[in-house]
Amino acid sequence: MSYSIFVRDLARSNGQVPQLLAYDIDDRRAAEALVSVIAASYQDHGFNPATRTHWFRHDDGLREIYAWPGA
């Protein structure tokens, strides 16, 4: 199974589809590690254990980033 990485702006989502950042990543752990590294590259970032997603702030927006099977 391959994984994709998605990003969405939580403050301005208005029902918009999350943006596809990467796809065809063969390993779940590799996809999740990449998500973590991308989020950590921003000064203000963290992990939400309730949703199991990472987040970061960029350009006055709060963004969520996560790996998901398929796409």
Residues 6+ apart with CB under 8 A from 12: 61
Give residue 20's identity as a one-letter amino acid code. Answer: L
Domains recognised in the chain with CATH numbers: 3-69 (3.10.50)
Residue-level pLDDT at 34: 96
Q: What is the pLDDT along the chain (71 residues), one digit of tens a residue?
A: 899 999 999 877 677 789 999 999 999 999 999 999 999 999 999 999 998 899 999 888 899 999 999 75
The reported pTM is 0.87
Look at the block and give the residue holding tokens 């992990």. Answer: 47
Is 6:20 a contact under the CB 8 Å cutoff?
yes
